[in-house]
Structure 1
Amino acid sequence: MKTRRALEALNFFMADVQAGIGPFLGVFLQARGWGTDTIGTVMSIGGIAGMLATSPAGALVDGTRHKRALIVVAGVMTVLASGLLLVSHGYWMVAASQVATAITGAAIGPAMAGITLGVARQSGFDRQFGRNQVANHAGNVVAAALSGWLGWRYGFGAVFALSAVFGLLSIAAVMMIRSDSIDHQVARGLAPHESHESHGASTDGEVSGFRILVQCRPLRVLAAALAMFHLGNAAMLPLYGLAIVAAHQADPSAFTAETVVIAQAVMLIAAMLANRLIRWHGYWWVILLTFLALPVRGLIAASVIHAWGVWPVQALDGIGAGLQSVAVPALVVRLLSGTGRINAGQGVVMTVQAAGAALSPMLGGLLAHHFGYPAAFIALGAISTASLALWLCCGAGLRRACSTRGGLDGHGMDSTPSAS
């Protein structure tokens, strides 16, 4: 129980470490004369770097027994990379900071999922991961509220200082997780004491996450749908903040904090309800609900460029992201159970969805620059309907794979996965 509470504390404090000044980056650069197209481009550079690093990071988590140390190193490097922005505001320095933050942060998600699976085991993963996400969203709410107040009162340097403090508390939480409480075989999707070779894996820990993606049809559909969803979703928050600030509707730091607090508060509630909804309706219906929220969000954002519009816009973001934060990793664990490739699978799904997220700021920034903010929001919402169409068109087979009762034999694999 002590280890599980430490795991929840880690998720709480790591929330701000992962985010850093990321939510404030757009208004931070806008205040220094950057245009929306340039801001979108530099954010996309970081997104592409994170996309390329996530799949190898997932394979690394599967192959290492030093998952706690991996989180510590990644967290420290993320804080240091964010600190580069305080030294220089030049284009390439900002780009380097975004690349470093994305690469070091790529391991945190799979490592968190792997430790949770190793501690809670398959039977307890959904419940414990849901509790982790509740703690993570609560950490984001607290950090965003503090960042908004500190940024308004003392400037953006105080936002970075808060991230550094949360980083130190994250290290303390990691140290409270006992190393012997993590079953590293279970953490990668094998039964306790089961040999890697029994599933075709080599002992060197080198795993092909993309081969898993090719062999598991439900995983392919999930990854493709998430890529289209994040292509429309990722730019929505920073772009809406830029639109409001450009219209002189709010203080940059305070408003950006407000957008994050509203979304994360709704995410917290959604994460608390996610496991219950999954038990009642299955993963397919829960993920469908998240895809439905984004087009509506785009229409509202285009129609209401006003400070109060942040409430419906960010509430819809909270519903989608909050449910996905629990349902997607839990579904990947279920689909790949017994393969020994769970964290590689998590990494490759995150890589594919990150491809959409990486291009989103560049696309949104260019659309806003040339056609205005309302057109950009409508276009982003329209693009995201592709995820909805894909999810519905492949519904029959997916519902069976995503069901919490039974499912596809062999976890939806077209053939047994093996290392490349």
Structure 2
Amino acid sequence: MPDATGTRPVGAIDRRSGRGLDWLNFFVANLQTAFGPFIAVYLTQEHWTQGQIGQALSIGTITAMASQMPAGAVVDALRNKHVAAGSAIVAIILSCLMLAVLPFRLPVTVAEILHGFASCMLNPAIAALTLSLVAAASIDGPAGGFAASAALGARFGRNASFASVGNAVAAGLMGGVGWLVSARATFFLGAVLAIPGLLALRAIAHTAPVAGKADNPGGAIGSAVEPPGENVWQGLRRLLRDRRLFAFAVCVALFHLSNAGMLPLAAGQVTRQAGHLAELVIAACILAPQLVVSLLSPRIGRWAGLVGRRPVMLVCFAALPVRGVLMAMGPSPWMIVAIQLLDGLSSAAFGVMMPLVASDLSRGTGRFNLCLGFLGTAMGAGAALSTTLAGAVADVSLPLGFLVLAAAGGACLLAVWLLLAETAPLTKVRPA
């Protein structure tokens, strides 16, 4: 909003676009939730075997991992990020409808592939829209550069907050519809919930990049626009020259190596201890961290803009090893819910830092989404290894499985401390 002088603060986007971005994140989270555990429930009711369900889900996972960098390159190449986001939303709607109408091997496989690639386009496209809006609202100069960086962190935090609330609301709605109607109905609901997301996308202003201002104000934030005359491989080579990219990719992989396997192990422990209350406890383990994420993400974004990325990561990522050690102590089911609140702290920080650091690393390259794709590949690799490793170790000893994941979290902290240089464009000149 404008200040007393009638001007908008540096990096503050207009209200209509801001609201549109809020609701876009909210409804996109609704849409993505349909492709969580509901697929397994639905296909089980359609008399699929567990092996067939596992194969279908694996196809989606492999597609998502393989699509990270190509999808990022596509988003970079499209100057109109609205087209990228809108096309991805429509593709995911089609995936929902295909699953609901045709629960057979080939259509489900096509739906998983379509969803995997579209998801890899959608999240970078939303991040690119955010980047462009904040950049277009910023001014040149060192003070403007600092303010732009701080505003970008706050905006990414707000995105994560609305996405977290959307996830929680969608999980409740789809669970209720699945219980009252059928598992098939959850996919129709997911498709319907995407329509307000398309309307929210229309409310976001189109911003045309201007050299030195909208594209990269004061050199403070990254560019979401592909440089003319440069192909994907040239852009990738430019990114790969930055050692901080590899350092952060190691941090990302270790974070998910520690985090991804934690809740599945805890779910097994809860199932053995809680009996018929297991579903209720597991639901609380999912929803409670989402509440923490929604509350903390905007604050974490502001802190990252004020004090830098590394201090925030060092504080918030410390929740990973602490959570693993506490889980290894064999707590009661409801204590596990309390411990899961630590997941909200670390996940809130990661959800903000992923696009924010990618923006820092891509300054001057125009390869923001390609950078996100590279980091997304590291994230997928860490998550895939986490569940496999945790399950194998837990077969020998459940507490040892949690301790291995805690050790990975400790390694993530060490990587942030020892390998990762500060990426924020902090200056001594701050806006008055």
User: Aligned partners of 1:406, 1:44: CA distance in 2, in Å?
Assistant: 49
Q: Which of 6, 11, 19 is the matching residue for 2:33?
A: 19
- In structure 2, how many angstroms separate the alpha carbons of the residues matched to 1:186 and 1:61? 21
Q: Residue 341 of structure 2 is aligned with which of 297, 315, 322?
A: 315
1:164-196 deviation digits (Å, cap 9, x = unpaired)? 2221111111122233x353878995469xxxx
TM-score, with length taken from structure 1: 0.79
Pairwise CA RMSD of aligned residues? 3.7
Taking the TM superposition and a 5 Å limit, the aligned residue runs for 1:337-356 are 337-356=363-382
What runs of 5+ residues in structure 2 fail to find an aligned partner?
A: 1-14, 139-147, 219-224
Kindly provide the CA deviation profile for residues 2-22 of structure 1, in whole angstroms up to 9, marking residues without a partner as x: 122111110111112123231
Q: Which residue pairs with 1:78 in the alignment?
A: 92
Question: TM-score, normalization: structure 2?
Answer: 0.78
Question: What is the DSSP-based 3-state SS (H/G/I as helix, E as strand, rest coil) of the residue aligned with 2:340?
Answer: helix
The structure-2 alpha-carbon separation of the partners of 1:302 and 1:43, relative to structure 1 and needing over 3 Å to count, comes to farther
Contact 1:232 1:383 (C-alpha < 8 Å) held by counterparts: yes
2:259 maps to a residue whose letter is N
Greater shift, 220-229 or 272-281, is seen at: 272-281
| Residue 371 in structure 1 maps to residue 393 in structure 2 | no
Deviation at 1:392, TM superposition (A): 2.2
> 1:246-300, CA deviations, whole angstroms, 9 ceiling, x for partnerless residues?
6563567655543332121111112021133224532101112333212222233
Q: Which has the higher contact order (CA 8 A, sep 6+)?
A: 1
Code of the aligned partner of 1:312: A
Distance 1:232 1:339 in 2: 31
- 2:137 pairs with 1:112: no
**Farther-moved stretch of structure 1 (100-109 vs 122-131):** 122-131
1:346-386 Cα deviation digits (max 9, x unpaired): 22222222221233334444445x43654433333323332
Alpha-carbon distance in structure 2 between the residues aligned to 1:87 and 1:13: 22
> How far off its partner does 1:43 sit?
4.8
1:268 to 290, 294, 298: 294
**Partner SS state of residue 107, structure 1:** helix
Distance 1:301 1:150, change over 3 A: farther
Contact kept in structure 2, 1:291 and 1:320, CA below 8 Å: yes
Structure 1 pair 348/155, CA: closer, same or farther in 2 (3 Å)? same
Bigger-Rg structure (1/2): 2
**Equivalent residue of 1:160, what SS?**
helix
CA contact (8 A) 1:46 1:99 kept: yes
Structure 2 matches for 1:3-402, cutoff 5 A?
A: 3-24=17-38, 43=57, 45-82=59-96, 97-121=111-135, 123=148, 124-179=151-206, 181=207, 183=209, 189-190=215-216, 201-203=227-229, 206=232, 208=234, 210-245=236-271, 249-250=275-276, 254-304=280-330, 306-368=332-394, 370-371=395-396, 373-394=398-419, 398-399=421-422, 401-402=423-424
Superposed CA deviations along residues 309-354 of structure 1, whole A, max 9, x for unmatched, are 4423431111111112112311221232222222222222222222
Distance 1:256 1:144, change over 3 A: farther
Q: Which residue does 1:416 correspond to in 2?
A: none
Deviation at 1:74, TM superposition (A): 1.5
The answer (yes or no) to whether the contact 1:62–1:187 under 8 Å persists in 2 is no
Structure 1 stretches of 5 or more lacking a match? Answer: 193-198, 408-420
The letter for the 2-side match of 1:405 is T
Give the match for residue 405 of structure 1.
427
Contact 1:244 1:250 in 2 (8 A): no
Distance 2:102 2:391 in 1: 22
Give the Cα separation in 2 of the matches to 1:117 and 1:187. Answer: 12
Judged with a 3 Å threshold, the aligned counterparts in structure 2 of structure 1 residues 205 and 16 are, in CA distance, closer, same or farther, namely: farther
Deviation at 1:393, TM superposition (A): 2.1
Give aligned pairs, total.
Answer: 395
CA shift for structure 1 position 109: 1.5
Q: Which moved more, 1:150-159 or 1:269-278?
A: 150-159
Could you tell me which amino acid in structure 2 is paired with residue 379 of structure 1?
Answer: V
Deviation track 1:23-56 (CA, whole Å, cap 9, x = no partner) reads 4556777898977x99777655533321221112
Moved more, 170-179 or 39-48: 39-48
1:104: how far off? Answer: 1.5
